[in-house]
Amino acid sequence: MGHTLAEKILATKCDQKELFPGQFINARVDLVMASELSGILAIEEFEKIRNARVFDPKKIVFIMDHFTPAKDIKSAEIVKTCREFADKHGIRFYDVGRAGIQHILLPEQGLIAPGDLIAGADSHTCTHGFIGAFGTGIGSTDAAVAMAIGEMWMKVPESVKFVYHGKPQKWVGGKDLILHTIALIGVEGARYQAMEFTGETIDSMRMNDRFSMANMAIEAGAKAGLFAADETTRAYLHSRGRDDGLYLRSDPDAEYSAVYDIDVSNFEPFVAVPFIPENVKPVSELKELEINQAVIGMCTNGNIEDLRAAAEILKGRKIHPRVRAVIIPGSQKVYLDALREGLIEIFIEANCSVSTPTCGPCLGGHMGVLASGERCISTSNRNFRGRMGHITSELYLANPYVAAASAVAGRIISPSDL
């Protein structure tokens, strides 16, 4: 019997010839990462381990991205504690002005390669499956143990396969494919499974679209969201200084818990409506919904290609007088690339705000928190009640084209309606 991509990657991390779903393993990690919010808890647990030392400071990364730049004294103190711990143990530390949102920053810095096992104290660590790495979110206590021994204990997940066919129409991207998929199976439809994305649609898909899909695998309950690394992946990694890695693929006779065939040819952009990511509607059904805010960027759609998409819509236009638009590049490099390409000028001339890289508004932290009754369209990944602010506010999830077009119209629309 053949093996899935997830099983093959994990087998290499515990020196097993083969693994099967349901087995419990201790797997060697290639990178442990934490933000300030998860890192502060991991530090507390780490310091409870007698005579603990980090297993390899080069394989541990702290990235300050959730409440940074520090929004108040408490968040400043948290970052200070993380910085002091990193200095003490020689851990790689990314702070304001030198950083970005962790899931965009790490592959951009060449810190992840195909076949790696990434243990991140953040649920969206599944993002790194876009380059064929097994990225998975862990708790802060598990992160403390991983920092100490370089291993994580886990169960080998079942895999579910999604095969995408057809050529997407204009304005449709990876965000729309994953929203449709989550609607198809539900937010628990892949619970503790590895979602494997494949098919001719995927083969011709850009890396930023794969990124968005892997990022939101957790919104279906998945342990990981995986793409087999290919020549598109190789070119992406080469531009970031990485030419190594394990380019693995599932065997033709690998066993899956389920297989879904999805034809994307007639897809229009989709929007997830409150208050759960599986509540997905075609954008054409939402034309009368007025908005107060649009947020474009962050981790799910904060790559340079995503900002180009927004700029394509906003160029020569102004956002609606009622709307606040916040643009958040995913990293300092993305910000600089956008500046050099003239995208920042387009955004500012359209009356948008452009923020330093931060997770801020995504979790209702800062840089765009919603008031009571306000409605926001966002390129982020979660739309739970109160996620971006007041408990009575509403959050709608869409791709950058739709978010930008809606900011101009003052209501949720398709770019084709402009």
Q: What are the pLDDT digits (tens) for 359-394?
A: 888 888 888 899 999 999 999 999 999 898 999 999
Mean pLDDT of 120-124: 93
Is the model's pLDDT at 308 over the cut of 90?
Answer: yes
68 pLDDT band, cuts 50/70/90, is: confident
Q: Is residue 267 part of a domain?
A: no
Residues 353 and 208 in one domain: no
Instruction: Quote the CA–CA distance of 161 and 353 in Å, as a whole number.
Output: 40
Residues 193 and 319 in one domain: no
40 pLDDT band, cuts 50/70/90, is: very high
156 pLDDT band, cuts 50/70/90, is: very high
Q: What percent of the chain has pLDDT over 70?
A: 100
pLDDT of residue 367: 87
Q: Is residue 379 part of a domain?
A: yes
Residues 171 and 232 in one domain: yes
Q: State the CATH number of the domain containing residue 165.
A: 3.30.499.10
Query: Where does a domain end: 241, 262, 283?
Result: 262
15 pLDDT band, cuts 50/70/90, is: confident
Residues 278 and 243 in one domain: no
Residues 386 and 245 in one domain: no
What pTM was computed for the model?
Answer: 0.94
Q: Is residue 61 part of a domain?
A: yes
Residues 96 and 204 in one domain: yes
Is the model's pLDDT at 57 over the cut of 90?
Answer: yes
Residues 205 and 304 in one domain: no
Q: What is the pLDDT of residues 238-268, one digit of tens each?
A: 999 899 999 999 999 999 999 999 999 999 9
Residues 168 and 254 in one domain: yes
Is the model's pLDDT at 62 over the cut of 90?
Answer: yes
Range of the domain at 389: 272-417
Query: Where does a domain end: 228, 262, 296?
Result: 262
Main-chain dihedrals φ then ψ at residue 59, nearest 5 degrees = -110, 20
pLDDT of residue 51: 87
Q: Is residue 306 part of a domain?
A: yes
Residues 112 and 221 in one domain: yes
Query: Where does a domain end: 219, 243, 262?
Result: 262
Residues 228 and 297 in one domain: no
pLDDT of residue 391: 95
Q: Is residue 128 part of a domain?
A: yes
Residues 59 and 201 in one domain: yes
pLDDT of residue 329: 96
Is the model's pLDDT at 273 over the cut of 90?
Answer: yes
The structural domain count of the chain equals 2
Q: Is residue 308 part of a domain?
A: yes
Residues 212 and 306 in one domain: no
Quote the mean pLDDT of the chain.
95
Q: Is residue 84 part of a domain?
A: yes
Exposure b/e, 205-232, CB count within 10 A at least 16 = b = bebbbbbbbbbbbbbbbbbbbbbbbeeb
pLDDT of residue 364: 84
Q: What percent of the chain has pLDDT over 90?
A: 90
Question: Which of 404, 389, 252, 253 minimizes the C-alpha distance to 327?
Answer: 404
